[in-house]
Every structure is written in structure tokens, then in C-alpha cells.
């Protein structure tokens, strides 16, 4: 079966650091992706992990542990504009089926 | 255009009617994906095209849903005998090739079935 879990909602303060977790169980694995989606808009790509470890990209970092079926997205120096939903997705087969999690709605407060 | 475009942006129809949703991918992108997204949920995969062929249609919920991409560019998602449960935002995404890391999403078509 295909299952991706994320917390439904999180709240953090401007300037702080927040970690959004994602656990997955899929029949195949060829990469884990994080997308950002502002309300009423299309998802935009943030990061990609296919090997274990941390990928850093500016204020955003993403971590993957394939043996644990676990990833997290780390957002540093939070800004108000980071208030959005963050979607974890697994590419199940090579270049074909993407399975998205339900998304985590992050609210950044002043 | 520079990005993925979808038309119409909004579609309201009555139960039982037929609808067509159009997606124009980024020029040169060979891979095209259709998803649908309900409120508060992540996108749900429907179908993936590589070129003109549907490489994976395992996400289509039933035979009322069909999609084509006859020339390997524009794609049309067709829904017959619409039901209220079909109401959702239908998202299209494209990537350079199927193994590309980044998918580029269009703005979506909000379908409402009354």
C-alpha cells in the first residue's frame, strides 16, 4: 500500500526554526520531494532527496532516512511569507507515480 | 508561455454532464501529469504521459475519466457523467522528462459539480 503521514498543522514564530516531519510506506521508492503550496496556488518545488542525508538549500534543508522511511523539512529564519502548506511526496516508480502526503499547514506568527 | 497553463480556471457543471479540462505544458516538456486535489488534502495522482502515450493511468478512479495527449504537447482530461464527488481542483504538471527532479505545476482548474 501507499501511505504518507505528516502533521496536519504547525505554528511557529517569525525568525524561529521549524521541522516538518514526514513518514512514508510505499511499494517502491525513487526519491522524496518537498513542495510548498500557498493557499489557492499551485505547488512549487522545494527539495529532493534520493540518498540518505541532509540536503541544504538556503533557509531550507531536507533530510532523508530510507531505512526508517522518514524525512523532514527544516525551515530556518522563518518569515511571514513561509506560511503555507508543505507537501511531502514520494516518487513510487521511476518517473511515474508520485504519491503526495496530505500536507502540513504552517502558520508563522509575528 | 513561460509556465504551465490550464483552462478553464473555473468550471461549474451539473451532475451527469461531460467536461473537458485542458493543460498546456511548458514547451519541450515530454512528461505530463494530471492530479486532483480536494480541500485540505495533497494532490492525488491520476495519470502520467510520456510523449503521446499514457505511461501510467493507474490513478484514474474509474472509466468515467479519460485523458489524451495526441501530439505530445497539450493534454485534455475528460470526465463523463460527472458526479458531485468529482468536485476538486484538477492540477496539471510537466517536467522535461519523466525522470526529471522538478515538476512544474499549472494553476489548476477548479471543478464544481452541482
* pLDDT beyond 80 at A2: no
- Tell me the pLDDT tens digit for each residue of A25-71: 988 898 999 999 999 899 999 999 999 999 999 999 999 999 999 99
A43 to B43: CB separation less than 8 angstroms, yes or no: yes
Distance, in angstroms, between B103 CA and closest chain A CA?
Answer: 7
pLDDT band at B1 (very low <50, low <70, confident <90, very high): low
A100 to B44: CB separation less than 8 angstroms, yes or no: yes
B50 to A42: CB separation less than 8 angstroms, yes or no: no
pLDDT at B97: 83
- C-alpha closest to that of A59 among A77, A84, A35: A77
CA distances from A28 to A24, A109, B19 (A): 11, 38, 34
- Tell me the pLDDT tens digit for each residue of A58-109: 999 999 999 999 999 999 999 999 999 999 999 987 657 889 999 999 999 9
Residues from chain B contacting residue A102 (CB–CB below 8 Å) = 40-42
Pairing mode, if any, of strands B109-113 and B10-13? parallel
Of A87, A95, A96, the CB nearest to B42: A87
pLDDT at A1: 61
- C-alpha closest to that of B23 among B108, B114, B110, B111: B108
Amino acid at each position: 500500500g501507499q501511505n504518507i503521514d505528516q502533521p496536519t498543522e504547525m505554528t511557529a514564530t517569525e525568525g524561529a526554526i521549524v521541522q516538518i516531519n514526514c513518514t512514508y510506506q510505499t511499494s517502491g521508492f525513487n526519491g522524496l520531494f518537498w513542495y510548498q503550496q500557498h493557499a489557492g496556488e499551485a505547488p512549487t518545488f522545494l527539495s529532493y532527496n534520493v540518498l540518505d542525508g541532509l540536503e541544504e538549500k538556503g533557509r531550507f534543508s531536507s533530510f532523508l532516512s530510507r531505512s526508517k522511511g522518514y524525512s523532514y523539512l527544516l525551515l530556518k529564519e522563518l518569515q511571514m511569507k513561509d506560511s503555507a502548506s508543505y507537501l511531502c511526496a514520494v516518487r513510487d516508480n521511476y518517473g511515474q507515480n508520485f504519491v503526495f502526503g496530505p500536507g502540513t499547514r504552517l502558520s508563522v506568527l509575528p | 508561455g513561460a509556465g504551465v497553463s490550464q483552462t478553464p480556471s473555473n468550471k461549474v457543471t451539473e451532475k451527469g454532464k461531460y467536461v473537458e479540462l485542458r493543460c498546456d505544458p511548458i514547451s519541450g516538456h515530454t512528461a505530463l501529469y494530471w492530479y486532483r486535489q480536494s480541500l485540505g488534502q495533497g494532490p492525488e495522482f491520476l495519470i502520467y504521459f510520456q510523449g503521446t502515450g499514457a505511461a501510467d493511468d493507474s490513478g484514474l478512479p474509474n472509466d468515467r475519466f479519460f485523458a489524451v495527449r495526441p501530439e505530445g504537447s497539450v493534454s485534455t482530461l475528460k470526465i463523463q457523467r460527472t458526479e458531485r464527488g468529482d468536485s476538486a481542483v484538477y492540477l496539471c504538471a510537466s517536467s522535461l522528462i519523466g525522470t526529471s527532479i522538478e515538476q512544474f505545476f499549472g494553476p489548476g482548474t477548479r471543478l464544481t459539480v452541482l
